[in-house]
């Protein structure tokens, strides 16, 4: 059996949940490298729900776990049920759900808070020396929870400044590459913070997964 990745989702869809292209790109890269994926998400309501065809807010409340199950093809467990021995590493794809539901960066910027279950997952992984990977906007979660973390969201000045304000260190990165923090066992890639299409997202995901393997 290969290494197991806790694949943390926040819903289904770029504007209020997990970015589907990024999730699939990471899944293919992990599968090709021989990893086993354990899908998980917090069993909570999404902070926002958006009609992706009109980009307008919706009033209907949606559950992050239930929506994320669409990407997981139903095989998903609540984050609260995930035990530390279930996984060998953690991966967060991007999408606005990472900044809305997994943390409050979208509304609070550098003063954001992180969902307690997500924070506990990161704490447990760090205490066990397990690597953590993140894509697109999701590295802000690591910036908030891991002091001094060296990471990337690409090269957006506003987001980079917010990351630095949280006590992390932002590193500019090309779309098809990734940034590694060896000391803290982190790897991040810009994905759709820079990418012009899914091919570039996939190239970054492959780089991320390759470097993730070097952290075990």
**Residue 19 buriedness (CB in 10 A; 0-12 / 13-18 / 19+):** buried
Is 146 a residue whose pLDDT tops 70? yes
Can you tell me the mean pLDDT for 153-172? Answer: 98
Give the pLDDT band (50/70/90) at residue 2: confident
Q: Please, are residues 107 and 162 in contact by the beta-carbon 8 Å criterion? A: no
Least confident of 23-27, 56-60, 77-81: 56-60
In tens, the pLDDT along 60-97 reads 889 999 999 999 999 999 999 999 999 999 999 999 99
Q: What is the overall mean pLDDT for the chain?
A: 97
Least confident of 57-66, 107-116, 127-136: 57-66
Is 1 a residue whose pLDDT tops 90? no
In tens, the pLDDT along 186-214 reads 999 999 999 999 999 999 999 999 999 99
pTM over cut 0.85: yes
47, 53, 56, 97 from 60: Cα distances, Å: 11, 15, 12, 16
Is 148 a residue whose pLDDT tops 70? yes
Active site residues: 136
Question: Could you name the CATH architecture of 4-213?
Answer: 3-Layer(aba) Sandwich (3.40)
């Amino acid at each position: 059996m290969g290494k197991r990745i806790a694949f943390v989702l926040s819903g289904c869809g770029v504007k209020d949940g997990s970015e589907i292209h990024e999730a699939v790109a990471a899944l293919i890269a992990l599968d090709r490298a021989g990893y086993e994926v354990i899908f998980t998400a917090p069993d909570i309501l999404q902070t926002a729900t958006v009609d992706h065809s009109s980009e307008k807010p919706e009033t209907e409340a949606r559950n992050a776990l239930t929506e994320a199950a669409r990407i997981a093809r139903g095989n998903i467990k609540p984050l609260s049920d995930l035990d530390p021995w279930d996984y060998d590493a953690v991966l967060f794809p991007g999408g606005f759900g990472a900044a809305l539901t997994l943390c409050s960066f979208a509304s609070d910027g550098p003063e954001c808070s992180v969902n307690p279950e997500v924070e506990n997952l990161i704490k447990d992984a760090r205490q066990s020396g397990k690597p953590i990977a993140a894509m697109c906007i999701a590295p802000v979660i690591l910036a908030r929870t891991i002091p001094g973390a060296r990471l990337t969201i690409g090269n957006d000045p506003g987001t980079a400044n917010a990351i630095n304000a949280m006590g992390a260190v932002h590193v500019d990165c090309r779309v098809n590459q990734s940034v590694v923090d060896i000391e803290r066992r982190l790897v991040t890639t810009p994905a759709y913070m820079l990418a012009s299409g899914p091919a570039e997202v996939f190239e970054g995901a492959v780089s991320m997964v390759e470097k993730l393997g070097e952290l075990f």
